Chains A and B, each alone.
Chain A
Amino acid sequence: MIEIPYNVKPRQETGLYNAKLGIWLFLASEVMLFGGLFSAYVLLRVGSPVWPPGGEAQLNIPLATINTFNLILSSWTIVKSWIALKENDFKGFKTYMGITLLCSLIFLVIKYFEYSAKLHHGIFPSTDNFYGIYFTLTGLHGLHVIGGLIVNFYLWGPGKKMWKSEPERFTNRVEVSGLYWHFVDLVWIFLFPTLYLL
């Protein structure tokens, strides 16, 4: 069987292994995806005489603030899990990645309560342009959190067996997954003030 080159060691010309180049290309496309929606938000906002169109938005700032702290903390724990692997500390990886997973779950539970309260009060994406873009942006971001949670859970659970056979490749997987997770955090850092505070 022919082995795929550069899936562990970096290619000399680029200094990158395959997955790292791949994730950065993917993140570049993600910038365009969220960029398009942020552009839509700006356009809706500057085109509206009053923002939000229906008067003051009914958003839960304390819950969103907790979620902001939560995601930032998870960004730190995931980078710590990668560092732990770099230092051959598998137990440390399990602990830090476990905390990352917990933070992701807490984020989703809080988001569930936020959405439920809105739907309960008869607030839907169709209510006005503000809620339309609010649900679109936070919903898409929430899907990204779910995606990250699935991948990180795989690395923490069934995927961890690769550590025994190919430790360097497994460490790279965690780095790549971490880069994606930091991007999810980065998007929220802009979503939080844009939608909740400004």
Chain B
Amino acid sequence: MSSQNLEHHKSIYLKVLLALFVLTVLTVAVSFFDFGSITLAILIGLTIAFIKGFLVAGNFMHLLDEVKPIYWLLALTVVFFFVLFFMPMLWEMNLVTVE
């Protein structure tokens, strides 16, 4: 990482920390709110979690400013993750069968 990038990262670490704290408070607060639908509550809860995850991965792990091989590696991981994640559900829905 260049010294210019280092200065840039340094300036935003504290802001990211504060944003993560605020979003954690929000995560707990919305869990006490009745959205009338569990699906909507899960959707909102997970959206906040994804935003927090993006802040950690993008800034603390420097993924917003990484080299290409890391992006390729992670893209491949995402593909395999989705296969792994949805395979049991496809199986459950009988969309995957074993002869």
Instruction: Check if A65 sits within 8 Å of B28, measured CB to CB.
Output: yes
Min CB distance B13 to A, Å, is: 6
Residues of B within 8 A of A16 (CB): 67, 69-70
Min CB distance B90 to A, Å, is: 11
Closest residue of chain A to B48 (Cβ to Cβ) is A193
Closest residue of chain B to A76 (Cβ to Cβ) is B17
Instruction: Check if B77 sits within 8 Å of A31, measured CB to CB.
Output: yes
Interface residues of B in 22-63 (CB under 8 A from A): 24, 27-28, 31, 38, 41-42, 45-46, 48-49, 52-53, 56-57, 60-61
* B98 within 8 Å of A (CB atoms): no
Instruction: Check if B60 sits within 8 Å of A75, measured CB to CB.
Output: yes
Instruction: Check if B88 sits within 8 Å of A189, measured CB to CB.
Output: no
Q: List, sorted by A's number, 28 A–B pairs whose CB atoms are closer than 8 Å.
A: A15-B67, A21-B69, A25-B73, A35-B81, A35-B84, A35-B85, A38-B85, A39-B84, A39-B85, A42-B89, A43-B88, A43-B92, A65-B28, A68-B24, A72-B17, A72-B21, A72-B24, A76-B14, A76-B16, A76-B17, A79-B13, A79-B60, A80-B13, A189-B49, A193-B31, A194-B49, A198-B31, A198-B42
Contacts A61-B28, A83-B10, A197-B27: A190 and B69 contacting too (C-beta < 8 A)? no
- Bound Cα distance A80, B17 (Å): 11
Report, nearest first, the 7 A-B pairs whose CB atoms are least far apart: A15-B67, A197-B31, A28-B77, A76-B17, A193-B45, A39-B85, A35-B81
B interface residues, how many (CB within 8 angstroms) = 43
A interface residues, how many (CB within 8 angstroms) = 43
Instruction: Check if B57 sits within 8 Å of A182, measured CB to CB.
Output: yes
